[in-house]
C-alpha cells in the first residue's frame, strides 16, 4: 500500500493544522503545531521594508480591522510572513517571521486590539507585483485579491511558496 496522500487531502490537513500519519489500523489525523503563513501590508512611505530591516524587528501595531486583528491573534512564533508594499508599489518585497505572538496593542486608545512582533528574514530577489499575482490562476482566491482592504491575511503554504517562486 502506498503512503502517498491525495494532494487535496494533504493540503487540507496541512491548512487546518493536522498531519496525516499511518498507523497499524490505517490512516489517522493527528493534531500538530504547524507553521502558518501570512501576508502583511504596509504603506512604504510610512514604514518600508528598508526601515524594517534597519530596525531589525518591529511591533506590528495599529491594526484596527477585526478580521486583521483576529489574524494577528492566530499567528504563532516562527510563522513566516510576506511583507507587501501597498500604495503605489503594490508588491511583495520580503519575508519576515513572527518573533512574538499577539499581545495588547499599546497604541490603541480604546478597544481590544492586538499587536505581534515581526523580524525580517530576507528581501525577495525581485518584487512580486499585485498585477503578477492577479494574473496567476493559482492565486486568484487569496485574500490579497479578494479582500484588498485587509491588512493582515493568511496564506496556504502552497500559495506562499508559489509567490516565492515568482520572485526568483
Would the pTM count as exceeding 0.95?
A: no
Q: What is the pLDDT of residue 30?
A: 47
3-state secondary structure 109-126: CCCCCEEEEEEEEEEEEE
Hunting for cell 500519519 — which residue is that? 21
Average of pLDDT values for 27-53?
Answer: 85
Provide φ and ψ at 91, rounded to 5°. -155, 145
Q: How many Å apart are CA 59 and CA 140, to the nearest integer?
A: 30
Q: What is the pLDDT of residue 34?
A: 85
Average of pLDDT values for 144-152?
Answer: 96
Amino acid at each position: 500500500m502506498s503512503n502517498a496522500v491525495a494532494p487535496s487531502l494533504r493540503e487540507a490537513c496541512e491548512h487546518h493544522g493536522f498531519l496525516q500519519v499511518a498507523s497499524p489500523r490505517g490512516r489517522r489525523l493527528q493534531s500538530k503545531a504547524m507553521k502558518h503563513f501570512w501576508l502583511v501590508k504596509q504603506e512604504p512611505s510610512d514604514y518600508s521594508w528598508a526601515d524594517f530591516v534597519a530596525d531589525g524587528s518591529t511591533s506590528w501595531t495599529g491594526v484596527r480591522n477585526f478580521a486583521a486583528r483576529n489574524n494577528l491573534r492566530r499567528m504563532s512564533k516562527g510563522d513566516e510572513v510576506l511583507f507587501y508594499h501597498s500604495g503605489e508599489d503594490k508588491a511583495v518585497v520580503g519575508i519576515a517571521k513572527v518573533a512574538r505572538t499577539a499581545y495588547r496593542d499599546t497604541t490603541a486608545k480604546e478597544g481590544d486590539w492586538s499587536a505581534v512582533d515581526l523580524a525580517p528574514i530576507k528581501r525577495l530577489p525581485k518584487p512580486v507585483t499585485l498585477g503578477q499575482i492577479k494574473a496567476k490562476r493559482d492565486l486568484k482566491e487569496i485574500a490579497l485579491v479578494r479582500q484588498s482592504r485587509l491588512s493582515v491575511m493568511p496564506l496556504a503554504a502552497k500559495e506562499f511558496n508559489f509567490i516565492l517562486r515568482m520572485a526568483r
